[in-house]
Structure 1
Amino acid sequence: MAALVEGQARPIRLADIAKAAGVSHGTASNVFSRPEIVRAEVRERVKAVAEAMGYAGPDPKGRLLRAGKVNAIGVCTTEPLSYFFDDPFARVMMAGISQACDATGAGIALVSAQNDEKLAWNIQSALVDGFILFCIEGGPRLVELTRERRLPFVALAIGFDDDTISMIGIDNIAGARLAARHLGELGHRRFAVLSLPFVDGSTGLVTPGRLGTALYTATRDRLAGYFEELARFGIDTTRVPVYETENEAATTRAGLEAIFANGEPPTAILAMSDRMAMVAIDWLTERGLNVPGDVSVVGFDGVPDGLLSRPQLTTIAQPITEIGRRAARMILDFDGAVRREMLGVELVIRASTGPAKA
């Protein structure tokens, strides 16, 4: 926090304050960093001199860099900053990260930019001890940029295979099987899938040749789990429409328009996120279709918003808050090791699913 004074070309330093106040450099430093050990009259004199000279105190960045630790975690995404507040999954995850940080007094820096150049700058300039990466989209670029900082990082919902990266995730195949099995046991035989992205910037009906080519493992594994379980019920999965969305309202609605415009409409929708599932319920209701009387819907994530849906959302619940807590602890307690954790999921049955029509 250097300041300039009249007739002086260089910024004011702490040494200037000490000289003007008639105290040692160490005493002046303690006034700003450890005021409780400085006598009150000395403290007030130094502060009065500093205020008169326009000096607000030592630059905290210098102190933090000298200490080698800033006691803060960077949370990164390629989405705009609004993602952390608008997306129900991100909100719950941030709650878990915040709980771990609150317990140790650590801070959080949100690092986000859709523009690649700005994202690189934001990651390079963030004053943090490590990063938590939301790798749902843009995962490879996030990892590349973060590795350049040479700081510890952990990936959440990582979208690609890399055993050298610390990661906390869930068993997506097992979760998808639970969702498909639930609907199959309810008698449903006509299905559609609302999918997370296969690759960045791509949406639309997925051709059979692309079904196994998703870049992101969450997409690939959930689709594999759905299809493995549906095949057990004798369903020809090559005839199940899969629509790739950007996990938001516009592309989800476009997917529903496409799915319900072709052939026999599905009686069950497998959505790879709760966000898509709740959009689907709204879309179906707007068109006079009853959920679950006409169409059953199963989401994936277990966000609290599913309880506010009408009807309440059946979903595959993952321990989002716990994932956030563990990720933060990995950074706060970093010991140099690569750690990979896989957590379980559960089927939560609510009112958005019911028996298929006879």
Structure 2
Amino acid sequence: MDDVARAAGVSRMTASYAFGQPDRVADKTRKRVLDAAANLGFRGPDPSGRLLRTGGLRALGLVLGESLEYVFEDAQATNFVSGIARECSASGYGLTIVPTTGDRTDAARITSAAVGGFVVWTTTADDLVLAAIRETRRPAVVHGGPAIDGFSVIGIDDRAAAKALALSVWADSKAPAVVSFPLDRDRQAGIHHGIDPATVPFPVTANRLAGFKDAAEFLGYRWESIPVTVSSSNHSSDAMQAVKALTATRYPVDAVVAMSDQQAIAAHAALNSTAPHRHRTIRLGGFDGSERAFGLGITSIGQSLRAQGARAARIALGIDGPSFETNEPWNLTNAMRAANE
């Protein structure tokens, strides 16, 4: 550390802050320190000595880009965390939730976390949190992507699953529509046409849009003609507002695919309030295979977020080997067909 400080022209304390508490150092100064360290082949202080002495390494960190309450309000997020917790408990580890906000304090929360590895809820490839995790030299698993060199990634094939969902829900539709997760970190709600999935930075959103586009083209629709109403968050209240915004355009929607069962259930409620005379004839589809969605006649992509959380934990804990493919199992449950059988 002394050599790095001399090369960067700063004090040893400033050099140390650049690695462990970056919010206390100006961006230009931190870059100068990191550049000096890179030239010297120094990857930063390994906190394991301090953490091993305190026993702090016997915990996993869950890095969450959503608000903290999302874990407790969204049933599938709860299932995912439950799977992680189960494996941590079985291995004698604790679980630390590390919420991130998108500002420069995120890196400090990551580097100061007393954990032995990380599970990251899906984020964008340019998220500075990923760089901060890399600096800790701890094992990391990203759920849903992006695929980052040196990190494991798990999840389902969202593009294939989304195509299968839309092919089922949009069959014979005259006016299909999409309810989408936020497109980027700005999280702006709105109605879009002809979105290029390749321009969407959130990998799960991008892959599901790509699958919906694949289905549209297979069924003979013009992707540009299908409205995509974007929710400002993953919460059901925002999804409901997104669907109400769509119905306010007088678009005669008759089949909707959403990116979660929670969104699809919100769409069901919104359509019931804005188009009560025809909402029962509108086909709905979502993701996660929840019993509530099935009970409402919503077709869904079933997947076990609990099993995926458990597998992510086992990889981060070194129990399972690394994973570099999103090939977890999924299945399509056609609720409309089941109701007619």
The separation in 2 between residues aligned to 1:223 and 1:150, in whole angstroms, is 34
| Residue aligning to 1:148 | 135
Amino acid at match of 1:70: L
1:222 and 2:197 are equivalent in the alignment: no
1:340 Cα offset (Å): 3.8
C-alpha contact (below 8 Å) 2:169/2:299 kept by paired residues:
no
1:268 Cα offset (Å): 0.5
Amino acid at match of 2:213: F
Change (3 A) 1:349 1:192: same
The separation in 1 between residues aligned to 2:322 and 2:242, in whole angstroms, is 42
1:303 Cα offset (Å): 4.0
C-alpha contact (below 8 Å) 1:317/1:345 kept by paired residues:
yes
Secondary structure of residue in 1 paired with 2:155: strand
The separation in 2 between residues aligned to 1:260 and 1:162, in whole angstroms, is 39
Deviates more, 1:208-217 or 1:95-104: 208-217
C-alpha contact (below 8 Å) 1:167/1:341 kept by paired residues:
yes
1:258 Cα offset (Å): 2.8
| Residue aligning to 2:260 | 273
For 1:36-56, what per-residue CA distance to the aligned partner results, in whole angstroms no more than 9, with x for missing partners? xxxxxxxxxxxxxxxxxxxxx
C-alpha contact (below 8 Å) 1:190/1:268 kept by paired residues:
yes
The separation in 1 between residues aligned to 2:55 and 2:91, in whole angstroms, is 17
Task: From 189, 205, 208, give the equivalent of 2:194.
Answer: 208
Task: From 73, 76, 86, give the equivalent of 1:86.
Answer: 73
The separation in 1 between residues aligned to 2:303 and 2:165, in whole angstroms, is 13
1:170 Cα offset (Å): 0.9
| Residue aligning to 2:316 | 331
| Residue aligning to 1:29 | none
Alpha carbon RMSD of aligned pairs, Å? 3.0
Change (3 A) 1:184 1:204: closer
* Regions of 4+ moved over 6 Å: 352-355
The separation in 1 between residues aligned to 2:51 and 2:198, in whole angstroms, is 48
1:165 and 2:151 are equivalent in the alignment: yes
The separation in 1 between residues aligned to 2:213 and 2:50, in whole angstroms, is 56
Task: From 202, 219, 223, give the equivalent of 1:237.
Answer: 223
C-alpha contact (below 8 Å) 2:170/2:255 kept by paired residues:
no
Please report the TM-score for the alignment, with normalisation by the length of structure 1.
0.72
C-alpha contact (below 8 Å) 1:291/1:297 kept by paired residues:
no
Amino acid at match of 2:288: D
1:174 and 2:147 are equivalent in the alignment: no
Secondary structure of residue in 2 paired with 1:265: coil
C-alpha contact (below 8 Å) 1:270/1:298 kept by paired residues:
yes
Where does structure 2 lack aligned partners over 5 or more consecutive residues?
1-47
Where does structure 1 lack aligned partners over 5 or more consecutive residues?
1-60
The separation in 2 between residues aligned to 1:210 and 1:341, in whole angstroms, is 22
The separation in 2 between residues aligned to 1:253 and 1:228, in whole angstroms, is 26
Secondary structure of residue in 2 paired with 1:343: coil
The separation in 2 between residues aligned to 1:199 and 1:212, in whole angstroms, is 12
Q: 1:6-85 alignment to 2 at 5 Å? A: 65-66=52-53, 70-85=57-72
| Residue aligning to 2:89 | 102
The separation in 2 between residues aligned to 1:296 and 1:109, in whole angstroms, is 40
1:336 Cα offset (Å): 8.9
1:177 Cα offset (Å): 1.4
| Residue aligning to 2:284 | 297
1:207 Cα offset (Å): 4.0
1:354 Cα offset (Å): 8.0
Task: From 319, 331, 340, give the equivalent of 1:346.
Answer: 331
C-alpha contact (below 8 Å) 1:312/1:352 kept by paired residues:
no
The separation in 2 between residues aligned to 1:63 and 1:76, in whole angstroms, is 22
Matched residues, number:
291
C-alpha contact (below 8 Å) 2:193/2:223 kept by paired residues:
no
1:250 Cα offset (Å): 4.3
C-alpha contact (below 8 Å) 1:270/1:299 kept by paired residues:
yes
1:209 Cα offset (Å): 5.7
Change (3 A) 1:231 1:335: closer
Change (3 A) 1:184 1:83: closer
1:153 Cα offset (Å): 0.7
| Residue aligning to 2:179 | 194
Please report the TM-score for the alignment, with normalisation by the length of structure 2.
0.75
Change (3 A) 1:199 1:219: same
The separation in 1 between residues aligned to 2:310 and 2:269, in whole angstroms, is 32
Deviates more, 1:127-136 or 1:215-224: 215-224
Secondary structure of residue in 2 paired with 1:146: helix
The separation in 2 between residues aligned to 1:66 and 1:138, in whole angstroms, is 34
Deviates more, 1:175-184 or 1:109-118: 109-118
The separation in 2 between residues aligned to 1:351 and 1:284, in whole angstroms, is 17
Change (3 A) 1:269 1:344: same
Change (3 A) 1:337 1:229: closer
The separation in 1 between residues aligned to 2:279 and 2:337, in whole angstroms, is 5
Secondary structure of residue in 2 paired with 1:342: coil
For 1:144-184, what per-residue CA distance to the aligned partner results, in whole angstroms no more than 9, with x for missing partners? 221122211110122x3434421101101111111112124
